[in-house]
Structure 1
Amino acid sequence: MSNILFVVSGSDHWTLKDGTKHPTGYWAEELVVPFRTFTDSGHEVSIATPGGVQPTVDAGSLAAEVNGGQERADELEAEIGRIAQLAQPLRLEDVDLDAYDAVFYPGGHGPMEDLSSDEASAHLLTSTLASGKPLGIVCHAPAALLATEDTEGGSPFAGYRLTSFTNTEEEQAGLADGAPWLLQDRLVALGADFQEGEAWAPHLVTDRNLYTGQNPASSGPLAQEMLAALR
């Protein structure tokens, strides 16, 4: 069986362009569903955060209205409580890629705050891409790719086909006007070949060993795609 590393934001807020701090963290579905998918298939999952801080779940991701009802929201919250790795995550700065067979980044607005400029994450992303190991990134987590930009504006991810949470979805979620920048715009500026799917519907893009998903609904299918690659 494989060892899979989850890289999770350690931020509990996203700083908007007016300086206010929007409460956030990781998005529950995007962590829980892939975690369950991998572990139910017999794989081991480790979790790392910047500095090894205990990550915060975005309270909004546990609301009944985004989970199809209170029952599923309660199930997600209960599953989070059973993931022991969340209580004592590894320090991202100490991670050795050689110990893992795949890397996965769940989203939420947290990565927009910390992983978008995190050097340890940038090194891991670049190394994983070069290694050929499956690299899965979903929703807002592709913000972490922005940290791979060098001083001349280049990135190893330039030219790759990928997706992320779109401008349309950010607008419909009501946060686009307050955002200091929009993820889709920044990924295009980085040189990515951005592939936009229908808002809120599952949408996956695979290019070589890079697996990306557009939104929360894409996280489960994305994990299944990575499972197939690990077989």
Structure 2
Amino acid sequence: MSGSPKVLVVLTSHDKLGNTGKPTGWYLSELAHPYAVLTAHNFHLTLASPSGGPAPLDPSSIDAASEDSTSQTFLAEQSALWASTAPLRSFLGRADDFAAVFFPGGHGPMFDLAGDATSQALIQEFVAKGKVVAAVCHGPAALVGVKKSATSGGGGGGGYYLEGKKVTGFSNAEEAAVGLDGVVPFLLEDRLVEVGARFEKADEQWAAKVVVDGELITGQNPASAQGVAEAIVKAVAGV
């Protein structure tokens, strides 16, 4: 891999919030802030989603970022990025093309990426190649079903990739605070613990928390998105 470091950004294709009748998708600030950090360090981002094509942006995340200039600039200037994402399957076997894979949050990943076999195979490939695997907020839902593979040192025994790893993600308390603990298909904090991860969280709800365990980088909530991107830059470029 030569030239600018490349990051594969995987967005959700899911746009319905359970049976509430409300829309969901990926969360604006959790891509906007990493985009600003990564492009400032000359990283190149490629966007993908399970279905390809338009990736649904959660409208509530636009409202939440109404006074966030970074998110509003990104929304106004970069919509082509998520209007025509590439199908995730087209990146299988191409981990060598990228320095990292990154999963932004929003509730969408809880419904599709958490059980997506293509996404899981892709993560296995990145792990086997020693690439950075990063996720923020509900993005770590994409990691919960990933199994260890023989090439990643797991022996192919079927254990979970996250077993024994330090990780964070959207906490049970934060899910309850937004009133969606009864809507999501599972509680992310609980599931991360169930697959053997060593879950960490900030002392206070909504505070930034970034956890780095080798090549695995996770952030707890929207406030953690910038820190996750900064950790990606440090891991890949050493700055």
Aligned residue number for residue 173 of structure 2: 168
Identity among equivalent pairs (%): 37
Task: Please tell me whether residue 23 in structure 1 is matched to residue 23 in structure 2.
Answer: yes
Q: CA deviation digits over 1:34-61, x for unaligned, max 9?
A: 1121112111110010021310110000
Aligned residue number for residue 57 of structure 1: 57
Retained in 1: the 8 A contact 2:95–2:129? no
TM-score, length basis structure 2: 0.87
Aligned residue number for residue 35 of structure 2: 35
Aligned residue type for 2:39 = T
1:100 corresponds to which of 89, 98, 101: 98
Shift of 1:229: 1.3
Shift in CA distance, 186/177, structure 1 to aligned 2, threshold 3 Å = same
Number of residue pairs aligned between Structure 1 and Structure 2: 223
Aligned residue number for residue 200 of structure 1: 206
Q: CA deviation digits over 1:80-104, x for unaligned, max 9?
A: 43xx332221110110212111111
Query: What RMSD in Å do the two structures reach over aligned CA positions?
Result: 1.9
Retained in 2: the 8 A contact 1:136–1:212? yes
1:22, 1:149 → 2: CA distance? 32
Aligned residue number for residue 129 of structure 1: 127
Aligned residue number for residue 154 of structure 2: none
1:112, 1:102 → 2: CA distance? 21
2:167, 2:120 → 1: CA distance? 17
Task: Please tell me whether residue 183 in structure 1 is matched to residue 183 in structure 2.
Answer: no
Shift of 1:73: 6.0
Shift of 1:21: 4.2
2:71, 2:44 → 1: CA distance? 25
Aligned residue number for residue 7 of structure 1: 10
1:70, 1:222 → 2: CA distance? 18
SS at match of 2:173: helix
Retained in 2: the 8 A contact 1:32–1:79? no
1:22, 1:159 → 2: CA distance? 36
Shift in CA distance, 193/88, structure 1 to aligned 2, threshold 3 Å = same
Retained in 1: the 8 A contact 2:111–2:185? no
Aligned residue number for residue 87 of structure 2: 91
Aligned residue number for residue 113 of structure 2: 115
Shift in CA distance, 89/179, structure 1 to aligned 2, threshold 3 Å = closer
TM-score, length basis structure 1: 0.89
Retained in 1: the 8 A contact 2:206–2:223? yes
2:15, 2:115 → 1: CA distance? 16
1:73, 1:210 → 2: CA distance? 25
- Large movers: runs of 4+ above 3 Å: 19-22, 70-76
Task: Please tell me whether residue 154 in structure 1 is matched to residue 159 in structure 2.
Answer: yes
Q: CA deviation digits over 1:126-178, x for unaligned, max 9?
A: 2212322111110001111123258x873122111000000000011111133
User: Which structure 1 residue ranges, 5 or more long, are not aligned?
Assistant: none
User: Which structure 2 residue ranges, 5 or more long, are not aligned?
Assistant: 149-156
Shift in CA distance, 112/22, structure 1 to aligned 2, threshold 3 Å = farther
Task: Please tell me whether residue 229 in structure 1 is matched to residue 219 in structure 2.
Answer: no
Aligned residue number for residue 211 of structure 1: 217
1:185, 1:21 → 2: CA distance? 25
1:149, 1:14 → 2: CA distance? 27
